[in-house]
Amino acid sequence: MAGKVRFFAVRTTIGQEYNVSLLMEERAKASKIEVHSLAVVSGLRGIVIVETDIPHVVHRLSYGIKHVKGVIRGGMNIDDIIKFIAPRPVIEMVKVDDLVEITSGPFIGMKGRVVQIDKSRGEVKVEIAEAAYPLPITINAEYIKIIGRKEETESGVET
Amino acid sequence: MPKRILPFKACVKCKLLVPPNVEICPNCGSRDFSDDWEGIAIIINPEKSEIAQALNITNPGRYALKVR
């Protein structure tokens, strides 16, 4: 059963994925369309993923809904989308000396270097690169994005 | 990710999305909710859905994929 193509992508206006998915849910329930699930993931902008065994119902599900731009040809299997649905936590992937970007909070958009990792609390200590003096801050690992490994930071720091 | 204006909050324990006036999660009974969530999985048929199996979801409903 695993590996069967049963995920189809519906293209929507960017920013309307949630609304479209809720409208499609209503239609699937009202018209008893055989859809197992719908998903909107943060890694795919303007895409709603539809899980069904019958490919042609995706057209019936999405036809005429506002902000739907069409159905993408072809399908995916569970291996293709599992990394979007259940991504590995950042705290497991981050290493000391990684170049990271802060994605939330007062330091949003700033880049820095990881100096310490606390796996039990899920926090990392980051030294802000843009600061004039060493400025280590402790933040939750959810709020950082890894943008470079140690080797890459040495060569590509001049950006 | 698009700016979210949906009227939902997510249960921190089971990630179920509920309207903001709900006080106890109908799925797990928790009282912890968060407004900072991302991604949505609408499970209609949990027995047949591979997404539900991957996320260990047994009840149909709307779930957030990431809750902070």
Mark yes or no for CB contact B2/A15 under 8 Å.
yes
Residue A126 shares a structural domain with residue A73: no
Residue B3 confidence (pLDDT):
52
- Beginning with the edge strand found earlier in the chain, give each strand of the sheet holding B9-11 in spatial order: B17-18, B9-11, B33-34
Residue A12 shares a structural domain with residue A59: yes
Residue A156 belongs to a domain: no
Buried b (16+ CB within 10 A) or exposed e, B22-53: eeebebeeeeebeeebbbbbbbbebebbbbbe
CA angle A10, A14, A17 (to 5 degrees): 55
Residue A1 belongs to a domain: no
- The answer on pLDDT for A81 being more than 60 is yes
Q: What share of chain A has pLDDT > 70, as a percent?
A: 92
Average pLDDT over residues A102-130: 86
Residue A71 shares a structural domain with residue A137: no
Mark yes or no for CB contact A36/B38 under 8 Å.
no
Residue B4 confidence (pLDDT):
52
Average pLDDT over residues A61-88: 82
Residue of higher predicted confidence among A86 and A16: A16
Q: Which residue of B lies nearest to A2 if distances are taken between CA atoms?
A: B50
- Chain B residues in contact with A14 (beta carbon < 8 A): 2
Residue A102 shares a structural domain with residue A64: no
Locate A90 and state its tokens. 């950042």
Residue A24 shares a structural domain with residue A73: yes
Of A15-24, A76-85, A94-103, the one with minimum mean pLDDT is A76-85
Residue A154 belongs to a domain: no
Taking CB atoms and an 8 Å cut-off, how many pairs form between chains A and B? 80
Q: What residue numbers bound the domain in which A138 lies?
A: 90-148
Residue A1 confidence (pLDDT):
47
Residue type, A147: I
Q: What CATH number does the domain containing A57 carry?
A: 3.30.70.940
**Structure confidence by residue, pLDDT tens digits, A46-73:** 888 888 888 888 888 888 888 888 888 8
- ipTM over cut 0.85: no
Q: What CATH number does the domain containing A95 carry?
A: 2.30.30.30
Non-local CB neighbours of B36 within 8 Å, separated by 6+ positions: B67, B68
Structure confidence at residue A152 as a pLDDT band (50, 70, 90): low
Residue A159 belongs to a domain: no
Within an 8 Å CB–CB cutoff, is residue B50 touching chain A? yes
Q: What share of chain A has pLDDT > 90, as a percent?
A: 0
- The answer on pLDDT for A96 being more than 80 is yes
The CATH fold of domain B9-67: Rubrerythrin, domain 2 (2.20.28)
Query: Total structural domains in chain A?
Result: 2
Residue of higher predicted confidence among A23 and A4: A23
Residue A131 shares a structural domain with residue A144: yes
Q: How far is A144 from chain B (nearest CA, A)?
A: 13
Residue A28 shares a structural domain with residue A77: yes
Mark yes or no for CB contact B43/A82 under 8 Å.
no
User: What residue spans define the domains of chain B?
Assistant: 9-67
- The answer on pLDDT for A159 being more than 50 is no
Task: Report the distance separating Cα A101 and Cα A136, nearest Å.
Answer: 14
